[in-house]
Amino acid sequence: MAPPAGTRDPRPDAALARRLLLGWVLAQVAGAAGTTDIVAAYDLTWKSTNFKTILEWKPKPVNHLYVVQISHGQGDWINKCFYTTDTECDLTDVIVKNVKQTYMARVLSYPAENGKPTNSTVEPGRTNAPEFMPYVETNLGQPAVQSFEQVGTKLNVTVQDARTLVRRNGTFLHLRDVFGEDLSYTLYYWKASSSGKKTAKTDTNEFLVDVDKGENYCFSIQAVIPSRKENQKSPESITECTSQGKGVFRELFFIIGAIVFVVIVFIIILSISLYKCRKTREGQSGKENSPLNVA
């Protein structure tokens, strides 16, 4: 039945409302489907030793890929580790250009299918890392002993200066070249027969300390940056020990060997001399006992 004249049919409005409601629901479903694959990274952590610097994060990707960006705060973002399934990114080549600069980094998460990013207009997930200043925050690696020698009452130890990936005029710099007077070393040394440790410090790479003559000593070294509030010290080096006892034994062995050699030579000479004397006496005795010639 047609509606009375002068009245409005409510059915078109109801149909329009239903269509609008259905469109809104579909939009919400589509929007939700577009965001389910976006998983933002978390637990962003800098790992750096002697300026070798890696950014790590979680989780392992399932249906997404990562892109890492880094900036020093006064320039554009630099893209690194494009569309990777890894959860770490080596940023050393960027930070070694200026280790006294403060860097910012972030990890972007993009939806992916079959290991490839999808053509989606959805905004990627984005997580910022803490700011990082290499000169202050990089850890000091375990130092090494280049050489050592104990002579009498003096112990001399030389530290092997670690090489870094920082360059100057195309040459890789050592730790001392980067830190200069900010870097010092500590020597821990003790008698091999005792546990009591002594310490010595130097602003160079050389130690010369007084020790007891004839005693074996063990020691280790540690790199230190006193001006830092955190990460001041490196792990201690591998323990090394001197060998004074072995040196004395070797000297004694050579002395005894020389004495034995002299004794053997003396015995040989004496034997030859006695043999010649015996022969001489036998010759003289033969002449005395021979008959006289008769004319």
% of the chain beyond a pLDDT of 90: 60
Mean pLDDT of all residues in 154-171: 95
Residues 160 and 91 in one domain: no
Query: What is d(CA 146, CA 185) in angstroms, rounded to the nearest whole number?
Result: 13
Same domain, 90 and 181: no
Q: What's the rounded mean pLDDT across residues 226-255?
A: 80
Let me know whether 150 and 242 are in one domain. yes
Report residue 33's pLDDT band, with 50, 70 and 90 as the boundaries: very low
Query: Any residues with CB less than 8 A from the CB of 41 and at least 6 apart, and which?
Result: 57, 58, 59, 66, 87, 107, 109, 125, 127
Residue type (1 letter), 7: T
Identity of the amino acid at 41: A
pLDDT at 17: 57
Same domain, 149 and 107: no
Do 157 and 231 lie in a common domain?
Answer: yes
Q: From CA 191, how far away is CA 150, in angstroms rounded?
A: 12
48-52, 126-130, 240-244: which range is least confident on average?
Answer: 240-244
Identity of residue 93: D
Across-strand partners of 67? 108
Which residues pair with residue 159 across a beta bridge? 145
State mean pLDDT over 183-192: 96
**Token code pair at residue 51:** 């300026």
Which helix (H) or strand (E) element contains residue 90? strand 88-90
pLDDT at 231 over 80: yes
Pairing state between β 116-117 and 104-113: antiparallel
Give the CATH number, domain containing residue 88: 2.60.40.10
Question: Which pLDDT belongs to residue 37?
Answer: 52
Residue 216 near residue 242, CB atoms below 8 Å: yes
Integer Cα distance of 112 and 141 in angstroms: 39
Of 239, 255, 237, residue with least CA distance to 247 = 255
Q: What is the DSSP letter of 85?
A: S
The answer to whether residue 275 is domain-embedded is no
Residue 29 has pLDDT above 50, yes or no: no
Q: Are residues 126 and 210 in the same domain?
A: no
> Residue 272 domain-assigned?
no
Considering the domain architecture, whether residues 224 and 158 belong to the same structural domain is answered as yes
Burial class (CB in 10 A: 0-12, 13-18, 19+), 147: exposed
Q: Which domain holds residue 72?
A: 42-137
Residue 202, SS3 per DSSP: strand
**Residues 64, 157: one domain?**
no
Measure Cα distances from 178 to 100, 229, 230, 251, 282 in Å.
10, 18, 18, 45, 89
On whether both 120 and 204 belong to a single domain, the answer is: no
Domain match, 155 and 130 both? no
Inside any domain, residue 110: yes
What's the pLDDT tens digit per position in 82-140?
999 999 999 999 999 999 999 999 999 999 887 788 876 778 899 999 999 999 999 99
Q: Say whether both 166 and 77 belong to one domain.
A: no
First to last CA, the chain: 192
Query: Average of pLDDT values for 34-46?
Result: 79
Residue 21 has pLDDT above 80, yes or no: no
Confirm whether 252 is domain-assigned. Answer: no
83 and 59 belong to one structural domain? yes
Model confidence, pTM: 0.69
Q: Tell me how many domains the chain contains.
A: 2
Token pair of 293, please? 């010639």
pLDDT tens digits for range 74-90: 779 999 999 999 999 99
